[in-house]
Amino acid sequence: MSTAPSAPGQPIASTRPAAVSATGVGKVFASRKGADVTALEAVDLTIAPGEFVSLIGPSGCGKSTLLRLIADLDSPTSGSIEVFGKTARQARIDQAYGIAFQQAGLLPWRTVRSNIELPLELHKVGKADRAARSSELLALVGLSDFADKYPDQLSGGMQQRVAIARSLAESPGLLLMDEPFGALDEMTRERMQTELVRICAETGAAVVFVTHSIPEAVFLSNRVVVMSPRPGRIRDVIAVDLGRAEGRGEGLREADSFFEAVVAVRESLHGEPAGAPAARGVDQR
């Protein structure tokens, strides 16, 4: 299958443990009426430290479920998930990852700064260290002038930037993002993508990014994982080689290599051309 370790674009194993390593992961939601729903089936995925991987697929393909399993917000019914060589649960307890959802999810009664400081505060980081870290992050997301504003005084894009800053507060090696730009308008969205690429380059964190948007996935990622629904499984892993962050400016969105990758993901998503018979054969097995 295309999900095997030999898939194109699979990073060469290093001495460091993988950021995420999912083996044979399945998730079945038991419903009361007895009709169980298989959200995920036989998912194998390895993500290297510092790598940016997008999960893309139609609604109900289990991409958000996979993210939630990695975050230990749910537990798999079969298979195992490791994050930096630890169980997902231990990784959560050790704060190995930061997370951002589609809703920014800021606490309305806290200022921008103290929202960013929330995880630090909860983990008993000293006041001075907190202030230093939040100033750093505010600068990173370009919101230094808004430190003392409240979330309801910010635009949607700004709120999402605060949420990203918050997810980076404890310098995690892994960032989990569930359609963080899904509610933003197209212009803001593209600007946020450019910023995210820069932020990831600066922090060196691995990212698992759930999205509906093909151009978004292609623009951001080192690899795009294409998923299919009912039951959710990985259909294809497409390596996107658009160069490192420094080179990924706005011009890239109009480059040929960008379009080629978009086409490749598109075709995989719709399950058509480019070796379609073989792919179908795999699917039906």
Partner 1 sequence: MTRTGSPLGRRVLLGALGVVVLAAVWELYKALGPATGVVLGDLTVLPRTSDLAMPHVWDMVARLFRPVRSSGDDEMMWQAVLQASFFSLGVAAVGWLVGVVVGMLLAIVMQRFRTAESALLPWIVLSQTVPLIAIAPLVKRWGSQIEIGSFSWENWMSVALIASYLAFFPVSIGALRGLESPDVNHVELMRTYSVGWWATLVRLRLPASVPYLLPALRLAAANAVIGTVVAEVSIGLRGGIGRMIVEYAAAAGGDPAKPWAPIFGAVVVGLLAAGVVALIGLALTRYRRGETPA
Binding site for partner 1 (CB under 8 A): 71-73, 92-93, 95, 97, 99, 101, 103, 105, 107-109, 118-119, 121-123, 150-153
For the CB of residue 175, give the shortest distance to partner 1 in the complex, in Å. 12
Four-residue CA torsion sign, 142, 145, 151, 156: negative
The nearest distance, CB 119 to partner 1, in angstroms, is: 5
By C-beta, is 121 or 195 nearer to partner 1? 121
Considering beta carbons, is residue 12 or 122 the nearer one to partner 1?
122
Q: Kindly tell me which of 16 and 123 has the beta carbon lying closer to partner 1.
A: 123
Which residue's CB is nearer to partner 1, number 92 or number 253? 92
Please give the structure tokens belonging to residue 60. 């109900």
Residue 134 tokens read as 């939040």
The CA distance from 40 to 118, in Å, is: 33
Identify which of residues 3 and 114 has a Cβ nearer to partner 1 in the complex: 114
Q: In whole angstroms, how close is the CB of 179 to partner 1 at the nearest point?
A: 13
Which residues have a Cβ under 8 Å from the Cβ of 72 and sit 6 or more positions away? 88, 89, 91, 92
Closest residue by Cα to residue 2 from 208, 260, 223, 253: 223
Phi–psi pair at 37, nearest 5 degrees:
-110, 125
CB of 282 to partner 1, least distance (A): 35
> What is the rounded radius of gyration, in angstroms, for the C-alpha atoms of the chain?
19
* Least CB distance to partner 1 at residue 99 (A): 5
Candidates 45, 21, 52; CA nearest to 203 is 52
